[in-house]
Amino acid sequence: MIEVQGMPAAPGIGIGKLCFAPHRKRSIPEYSINKGDVASELERLCKAIELVDEELLLLHKSLGDSDVEKVDFITAHRMILQDPILKDTMETWLHEKLNNVESLLLHFTTGMEQHFRGMDNPMFAERSKDIQDVAHRVIDALLGYKRDDSLSKIKEDCVIVAHDLYPSDTVTLNFRHVKGLVTETGGVTSHTAIMVRAFGIPAVLGVENLLRNFHRESFSDPCLVVIDGNKGKAFLDPDKRTLASYYSLKKQRSAHFDTYLNALRPKVSTKDGQDVYLYTNMGILDELESPLLPSSSGIGLFRSEFLFPEKIPTEEEQYQAYIKILTSVSSSQEVTIRTTDFGGDKVPGIGLFAEDNPLLGCRAIRLAMAYPEELFRPQIRAIYRAAAYGARHGLGKMRVMLPMISTHGELLRARDLIDETLKDLKTEVPEIPIGAMIELPSAVLCSDIIAKSVDFFSIGTNDLVQYTLGVDRVNEKVAHLYDPLQFGVLKLIRITIANANRAGIPVSMCGEMAGASCATAILLGLGLRHFSMASYGLPEIAHAICNYDIEECQEFAELYLSMRDSDTAREYLLEWHKERNITLDIPGWGERGSRNSRRF
Ligand code: PEP
Ligand code: MG
């Protein structure tokens, strides 16, 4: 058995046959050419590009138009393919370097990769993968290799082990049979990570040297893999004991899941009859298919920046996407569109600019305000036009939410821009609630004032924890310090809820903490009544809420916060739940640290 440790990128237990993703690395010949060969090399390149374009077109057709997002993905790849920069650079290099075209293409992609990686920004790095993906397709075509599309043909339950998945691999995966994913690279903000999370597929990413240490020949066929997405562990060729214990844990969890499912309603009652509202977080249109969405109060957070990760979308594209979202919910459900949170750890490939310290830079609302014509105004128009369509057709209720508000002045400027944009809009649009994400300590401390200028708050604990504790949320070296249950964080949450209540506006939480059952009692005790999370987390939280009494939770939260230190408080947390026969699963917020592997 081999145990490997990586980053827990998507929770859950997955068991399936080991399936190595096709190895894309080829030995690419490098040889000199004569001046007279340049024209024929160029012709080879053009033919290969044509071939790849046909291949992508076929892929597009096989997906069908309803797969909007996947289709967009393929379209983006075709655009990369047809971008003149590729052909022009190759032509110049052929003349200058007098080398064969496949070796030049390889240099082109490595240079591109280094350029993007130099920006030290995970999302840029992701985009470099798209370019590599396309370029390697062209190299394959030049060398006469047929593209290995075995991943799209998987017919039995398996766990995929890969260096990394190309974006075009991810979009063609059959998620019904993929029970887990283990990769050497890929960050938590990668497209791969978002996709697997959206479909509830456990994933462990960033297992260093995975394929250097182990390869297909190291294992018998068939060979099983167990993946523990909560702990960031995977067991290749597990021994009987590990396998048995994970089968039993999985069975236990799925039995629990079924029980929990019975508790799930859009509005759940606590033991003492208080109402708590549950919402889902989403970022891609495929998630609208979630069977759990109808049992929630709607979408508490739609991360709009993930809708079009390849480019700045047009107003029309956004409008169509929002209509699709609205038509996927019922008239009683809410849809909260967060305006784009580009920047920080999730800059898309739009490449506006690079920064040395992006987490403290021009991200989210700051970027939107810096590029009002390109980013903010078209999105606001699309949201309000979709809201108008929704109102005409009796669809769900639209809300708009502004990310990373740091001061009241910033919020007022954004609101003014919304008003101006709507004034310029020719059609009549309805008034819809405008909310602020509270994810910076400064916003919390001014939440009494900010509350007067918005219709709702949503607490983004992923960033609030990061900016309160000074811990980069995607840096595994400090991941053990990333802890939402720290007093400093909880006290800021308490202030936010109290100020929202005083102002009479609803307050929800849409960070990962809202879906962590170990935090539910404290959050209820602090007054939270609206929870938004990844949809597969809803049943467990619904079940937990039904079993809590609010008065007890209030006492518990106060006592927790009066403890000497957070270790003692954690003991108390476990004890308090044990007394109520609740076994807590405290997520490995701090377990991303050590990345290694062990062989038994
Ligand atoms: C958050 O910060 O908690 C949040 C929900 O936003 P994101 O994770 O998209 O930054
Ligand atoms: Mg955030």
pTM for the complete prediction?
0.76
One-character DSSP codes across 69-92: HHHHHHHHHHHHHH-HHHHHHHHH
CATH of 2-23+150-255, one of 1.10.3720.10, 3.90.1150.10, 3.50.30.10, 3.40.190.10: 3.50.30.10
- Ligand with smallest separation from the Cα of 189: 1
Task: Find the mean pLDDT for residues 296-309.
Answer: 89
Taking CA atoms only, the protein residue closest to ligand 1 atom 6 is: 460
* 347 Cα to the center of ligand 1, angstroms: 13
Tally helices (H) and strands (E) across the chain: 21, 18
Where are the domains positioned within the chain? 2-23+150-255, 35-143, 264-579
Task: Find the mean pLDDT for residues 41-60.
Answer: 89
CB count within 10 Å of CB 503 equals 17
Instruction: Say yes or no: domain 35-143 is CATH 3.40.1740.10.
Output: no
Taking CA atoms only, the protein residue closest to ligand 1 atom 7 is: 462
Q: What is the pLDDT of residue 211?
A: 78
- Looking at ligand 1, which atom is closest to the CA of residue 344? 10
- Ligand with smallest separation from the Cα of 340: 1
Among 158, 446, 510, 518, the active-site one is: 510
Sign of CA dihedral 346, 349, 352, 353: positive
**pLDDT, tens digit, for every residue of 519-566?**
999 999 999 999 999 888 899 999 999 999 999 999 999 999 999 998
- By most ligand atoms within 8 Å of CB, the mutation choice from 437, 457, 468, 523 for ligand 1 is 437
One-character DSSP codes across 367-394: HHHHSIIIIIHHHHHHHHHHHHHHHHTT
- Residue 508 CB–ligand 1 contact under 6 Å: no
**pLDDT, tens digit, for every residue of 109-168?**
777 666 655 555 444 555 666 777 888 889 888 888 776 677 777 889 999 998 877 666
- Residue 119 CB–ligand 1 contact under 6 Å: no
* 471 Cα to the center of ligand 1, angstroms: 14
* 461 Cα to the center of ligand 1, angstroms: 7
Burial class (CB in 10 A: 0-12, 13-18, 19+), 438: buried
**Is 518 a known active-site residue?**
no
Burial class (CB in 10 A: 0-12, 13-18, 19+), 180: buried
**Is 510 a known active-site residue?**
yes
- Looking at ligand 1, which atom is closest to the CA of residue 512? 3
Q: What is the pLDDT of residue 84?
A: 83
Residue 25 binned pLDDT confidence (cut-offs 50, 70, 90): low
- Looking at ligand 1, which atom is closest to the CA of residue 301? 5
Assess whether pLDDT exceeds 80 at residue 215: no
CATH of 264-579, one of 3.30.160.100, 3.30.70.20, 3.20.20.60, 3.40.50.1370: 3.20.20.60
**pLDDT, tens digit, for every residue of 54-105?**
888 887 877 766 666 677 778 888 888 888 888 888 999 999 999 999 999 9
Taking CA atoms only, the protein residue closest to ligand 1 atom 8 is: 462
